[in-house]
Amino acid sequence: MTDTELRQAAGAASATDPDGSGPAGRPGGPGAGRRRFGADTTKGTVAKIVLLGLVDALAVYVLMMLFLSESWGALAVSSAVVLVINWIYLRKGGLPAKYLAPGVLFLLVFQVFVVLFSGYIAFTNYGDGHNSTKDDAIAAIQLTAQKRVPDSPAYKAAVLAKDNSFYLLFTDPQGKVSIGTTQAPLEEVSGAGKDSTGKANAVDGYRTLTFQEIVANQQSILAITVPVSADPADGTLRTADGSNAYQFKPALTYDAAADTFTDTDTGVLYRDNGKGAFAADNGETLTTGWKIEVGMDNFVRAFTDPSLRGPLLGVILWTFTFAIASVALTFAMGLFLAITFNREDLRGKKVYRILMILPYAFPAFLSGLVWSGILNPQFGWLNQTLLGGATIGWLTDPLLAKISVLVVNLWLGFPYMFLVCTGALQSLPTELDEAARMDGAGPWRVFRSIKLPLLLVSIAPLLISSFAFNFNNFNVIFMLTGGGPRFADTDRDIGATDILITLVYKVAFGQGTGRDYGLASALAIIIFIIVATVSAISFKQTKALEDVNS
């Protein structure tokens, strides 16, 4: 309960600190000439001491853990933070800091620091195969670098499951059947069920995985290494596809003095290639590497790598299109509805309004999933029921998928614009309207020349934040199409409706292709720059708009 405690402690402490007792109290306190606050109650002081004590107790525990794990940098920073917190709440005066400290602490760690940290990661090759130090990488290579034993028999394999862990069932060329997993060395079994090719595929007490299950659990199945015997030097059995298995033996030895790996069979030498990996002279690298700083490499790669450049430009273009079109459509519809229902004497106005804002109240992530059911090309309601069995690819055709995404986002967003526009319309002065009518302006003219400009002054900031929100509107895209349909000209998981933020997520945490934190962070930094630029420009424009009108 650390954070709650911290918060409560901070709150109570700030609420009860002795303050304003001395005339030299706080130069930075409430403005000069203002009256001072009264003294604190005893109850408040006690609460403050207790809560600050709890925070400090927790802090001591954290500091001890940091000391034990020998994280010196984190230890130094944490100690400094603890000291500052105590100083803020124990000293006299400095009242604003007492109210601001808890919020600002979280803000600094989980908003400011993580952004700076992203900036750092963007300049490293952090990711699968490069996620630790060089020493860790060397240890891992020695453990995992295994090579197929030459002329060893090819085993047929099946994947079984028992108690949530996977087992491999092997059939050797002579038909001998044995079972094992990473923790359990190979063991012969009898009475296994076999299929027509003589491959054993079932054993009592175990469940045989279907092909779909094998695909879904690919990562964990590929990671299974079954020791041939209790002696590690005998090597292990592994499968690469869930149906064939081969015997592997350690294949690389490390020479600490020369900082090289040598292949035991071929004698090929692998050296540190300066890019966070060991590489042979022919350019072949060992899969396990380590994290290094690579400078602008990720950014350069994003715009030069042929499998990335085209799709990325498409994604950037679509991100802008999506954000601008979403704002324009929701605003247009919201404004139209606000004008339509801006009549005191319209019957049923309240009912309309409640029903219309329901999409806004419906959780956004569910909306994407529900619509994905409605629009599903094969089984969805739209094709099956409304269009009588049509097979229009609402979510699989690149153009239609984009339109579908926009329509769903319109459904999600128009109620908000409706509410906001109604509020803004009602706050407009009516004299202007009347004066214009007196001068002979028609309703359209009144709207275009008087109401709209005034409305834009108050709504423009909201349109900008709506743009910034839609620029990163992850949920609607990811839940509706998952970014698909995929581009044909790349082997990466990038699709026609992917926006930048879904691309960041897929690059960093996607299935199938390896995680690439460096590239993902570089893309996130690009989003930062775009959003900052657009916001800066448009806020300036808004100011101009305000000046013109006032």
Q: Least distance from C-beta 454 to other proteins, angstroms?
A: 11
User: Residues 6 or more apart from 539 whose CB is under 8 A from it?
Assistant: 461, 464
Q: Least distance from C-beta 477 to other proteins, angstroms?
A: 11
**Beta strand pairing call for 260-263 and 269-272:** antiparallel
Decide whether 278 or 517 has the Cβ nearer to other proteins. 517
Q: For residues 230 and 430, give the distance between their C-alpha atoms in angstroms, rounded to a whole number.
A: 89
Check if the beta carbon of residue 442 is closer than 8 Å to that of residue 433: no
292 makes contact with other proteins (CB under 8 A): no
259 to 288, contacts with other proteins by CB under 8 A?
A: none
Find the binder of other proteins among 183, 204, 343, 444 (CB under 8 A).
343
What's phi and psi for 64, nearest 5 deg?
-65, -45
250 makes contact with other proteins (CB under 8 A): no
119 to 158, contacts with other proteins by CB under 8 A?
A: 121, 126
454 makes contact with other proteins (CB under 8 A): no
87 makes contact with other proteins (CB under 8 A): no
- Secondary structure of residue 516 in the 3-state scheme: coil
357 makes contact with other proteins (CB under 8 A): yes
Which H or E run includes 86?
helix 72-90
Check if the beta carbon of residue 166 is closer than 8 Å to that of residue 160: yes
37 to 56, contacts with other proteins by CB under 8 A?
A: 37-41, 44
User: Residues 6 or more apart from 102 whose CB is under 8 A from it?
Assistant: 6, 7, 10, 11, 14
The strand pairing partners of 161, in sequence order, are 166, 207
Q: For residues 34 and 453, give the distance between their C-alpha atoms in angstroms, rounded to a whole number.
A: 41
Find the binder of other proteins among 46, 80, 83, 115 (CB under 8 A).
115
118 makes contact with other proteins (CB under 8 A): yes
* Stretch 499-538: interaction string toward other proteins, x if CB under 8 A: --x--xx--xx-------x--xx--x--xx--xx--x---
Q: Least distance from C-beta 246 to other proteins, angstroms?
A: 31
Find the binder of other proteins among 24, 256, 257, 361 (CB under 8 A).
361
Question: Nearest-CA neighbor of 544 among 433, 460, 476?
Answer: 460
Check if the beta carbon of residue 241 is closer than 8 Å to that of residue 141: no
Which window, 82-90, 316-324, 469-477, 490-498, contacts other proteins (CB under 8 A)? 469-477
430 makes contact with other proteins (CB under 8 A): no
Q: For residues 40 and 31, give the distance between their C-alpha atoms in angstroms, rounded to a whole number.
A: 20
Find the binder of other proteins among 46, 80, 83, 107 (CB under 8 A).
107
Find the binder of other proteins among 248, 478, 486, 494 (CB under 8 A).
478
482 to 501, contacts with other proteins by CB under 8 A?
A: 482, 501
CA dihedral 277, 280, 283, 289 (to 10 degrees): -10
Question: Nearest-CA neighbor of 37 among 58, 55, 16, 9?
Answer: 16
Which window, 11-19, 174-182, 256-264, 267-275, contacts other proteins (CB under 8 A)? 11-19
Number of residues that bind other proteins (CB under 8 A): 123
